Structure 1
């Protein structure tokens, strides 16, 4: 963390395209083992093993404060504690780093910024913010939807322990512009705060790694340093919270437009 923490009351990236042979190497060969037991033992086992994966990952998420080192809510930090110039997108404040490149994903109909794609060398992370319930988490449901959608598309999805709790690792089949079969590999991180959920989709070299190594350390630090400024307007849980352009960017765009008209 590179800013003070308050005393709280408590260019397009190559989307990890790899060839079909690599896809085959990524396939899991796990097989379920048959268990023979009498009726009573089987009944007990069924009761104990009911939704084991859901229980395991929910327990992992609840096991600690995964946001201790960020991402942060605006009430948890003091952005005036240093002289670093940050990018204020309204609902999120991002801390740039040397060599960072950014692309904004804008809804052409509403002209609102839906997500920010930040590139660091051969890696990238897409940041998006969503409304969330005040007392409960919707991360588990979102993960389940991602896994189901990936499998429906013929891809592979698995859950694993990541730096922010349970992360989703996906291998999604795609077709490149030349018609070749490739796969897109990614890791998805989630961070839950007061009535918000921040999603980070990690791609490129960092998307193919696991844990936090030299390849993924920079995108990890970027995601951790994100500060969320959720407004007080009521929103449906799961709805995207649109970003707004920083004043400096908006002013520059307006000046360029005025120059072009002249």
Structure 2
């Protein structure tokens, strides 16, 4: 255990030496590919490089249109969905999207609250839902977003991570450790950046395929 801790500290020191200094809300991540070198523990998922962690189940679900745009991390009682989008150089995409999400929540007869978070304004949403027992209930979500160089990374926390929001924990660490690969090709603002199943597993004992990684 002690040797492994020393190894992790050495890896972190090397990562810190390789990365660029980023000011503002992203000073501790998430990162652009030009700002940070991925570690051996990062899974290459196309537009997102996600650091594998023991205790999380990683999934890259297929959308209804046959494409993949989201990475989902699950723990025993919580989840995090991450999606990256092309954004204008001038920024401001999250401000627009946040307003639209609020209107959609209202249409679905839910409630939506804007809250100050570590990356700026975030949304705490509660939507009507049906419990496994068939009783009426609510589904809470916490939606955060951060904008980088021509991209926006959105994170939606589910389960306990939404019911009891915290800026710490394994899921928030995963969000901060994520590296976005925007690419140089022209894209329309709001266009989803495509992700793909990992081609190899991280070295910490986790595994991955096109549906899940534990």
2:25 pairs with 1:66: yes
Q: Would the aligned equivalents of 2:60 and 2:197 in 1 still touch at CA under 8 Å?
A: no
Q: With structure 1 as the length reference, what TM-score do the two structures score?
A: 0.67
Matches within 5 A, 1:1-262: 2=12, 3-4=15-16, 6=18, 8=20, 65-79=24-38, 82=39, 84-110=40-66, 112-176=67-131, 178-212=133-167, 216-248=168-200
Sort the Cα spacing of 1:98 and 1:7 in 2 relative to 1 into closer, same or farther, 3 A: closer
The aligned counterpart of 2:8 is none
Residues 24-43 of structure 1: CA distance to partner in whole angstroms, max 9, x if unpaired? xxxxxxxxxxxxxxxxxxxx
Shift of 1:234: 1.0
Q: Structure 1 unaligned segments of length 5 or more: list them.
A: 11-63, 255-262
Shift of 1:240: 1.0
SS in 2 for 1:247: coil
Shift of 1:104: 1.8
Q: With structure 2 as the length reference, what TM-score do the two structures score?
A: 0.81
Relative to total residues, which structure has the larger helix share, 1 or 2?
Answer: 1
Shift of 1:4: 3.0
Alpha-carbon distance in 1 for matches of 2:107, 2:179: 34
Sort the Cα spacing of 1:151 and 1:236 in 2 relative to 1 into closer, same or farther, 3 A: same
Sort the Cα spacing of 1:5 and 1:91 in 2 relative to 1 into closer, same or farther, 3 A: farther
Shift of 1:68: 0.5
Alpha-carbon distance in 2 for matches of 1:164, 1:240: 20
SS in 1 for 2:61: strand
Q: Structure 2 unaligned segments of length 5 or more: list them.
A: 1-10, 202-207
Structure whose alpha-carbon radius of gyration is higher: 1
Sort the Cα spacing of 1:85 and 1:8 in 2 relative to 1 into closer, same or farther, 3 A: closer
CA RMSD of aligned residues (A): 2.4
Alpha-carbon distance in 2 for matches of 1:201, 1:9: 26
Shift of 1:253: 6.7
Q: Would the aligned equivalents of 1:167 and 1:189 in 2 still touch at CA under 8 Å?
A: yes
The aligned counterpart of 2:4 is none
Alpha-carbon distance in 1 for matches of 2:185, 2:191: 12
